[in-house]
Copies of this chain bind each other. A is one copy, B any other.
Amino acid sequence: MSRPPFNPTVVDLSPEQQAREREVYGDLAASVRRLMEASLRTTLDPEEVPGVTAALDALSERLEQDRIDGAYGVSVTRDGRVRAYGNAVVGIRNPVAVPLVIEQDTEQGRAWSSFHFNALYEGPPGYVHGGVLALVLDQIFGEAAAAAGTPGMTGTLTIRYRRPTPLGDCSAAAWVDHTEGIKTTVKGELRDAEDQVTVEAEGLFILPRWAREAIAEGGQRPIRFE
């Protein structure tokens, strides 16, 4: 397992500017998410759809006039916040993301979240796609490992599907089961709106060398995402 050093862009904005950015671009992503669901569920007359498509392309062109190269990546603020705005699960600027707001307990090495799966996350008719459940669990598991002060990359993830998960409200929790050297074992589960466990999972997280070196230099501390 290899990965380049974590050299994020440092963002030099005042707290007010940061708050304004979160609001403006967060609202934009929220509107895009609404549009995504609307476009999936619409039964608008096929003759009228191309007009909407053309209007969307015009708005994309406007947004594309000024943009970053490549992917969003991760930036950090001067006050030490990690802005994973582009993350596919928690990124407030990423429309693919639900997005999840994940809580962390650093003393217990635990992370959890409640969220809603709408029509965009469907697999079997009326149910959440099994792979989507793996997607959110992977993120929550990683944040549990980070909360415990042993952040790592996912080495192995085993997902056991106990029963289908209906679309709608869900919750998930993950906790560090044990740590052995650079390997942290995380366990967790996902529950449906009836609070029934629908998925159980276990993950092995491995601390890459670059992170071990950073910890040796600067002391161990959990990574906090916003």
Contact = CB atoms under 8 A, between A and B. Distances in A.
A176 to B, nearest CB: 18
A189 to B, nearest CB: 14
Interface in A59-90: 59-60, 62-68, 70-74, 86-89
A135 interface: yes
Contacts of A3: 124, 127, 164
A28 B49 contact: yes
A125 B88 contact: no
Which secondary structure dominates where chain A touches chain B? Answer: mixed
Interface string A1-32: 11110101000000000001100110111011
Nearest to A73: B125
16 contacts: A1-B162, A29-B39, A31-B53, A34-B57, A35-B59, A36-B36, A39-B93, A39-B95, A56-B59, A74-B124, A86-B119, A88-B120, A95-B95, A129-B138, A129-B139, A156-B160
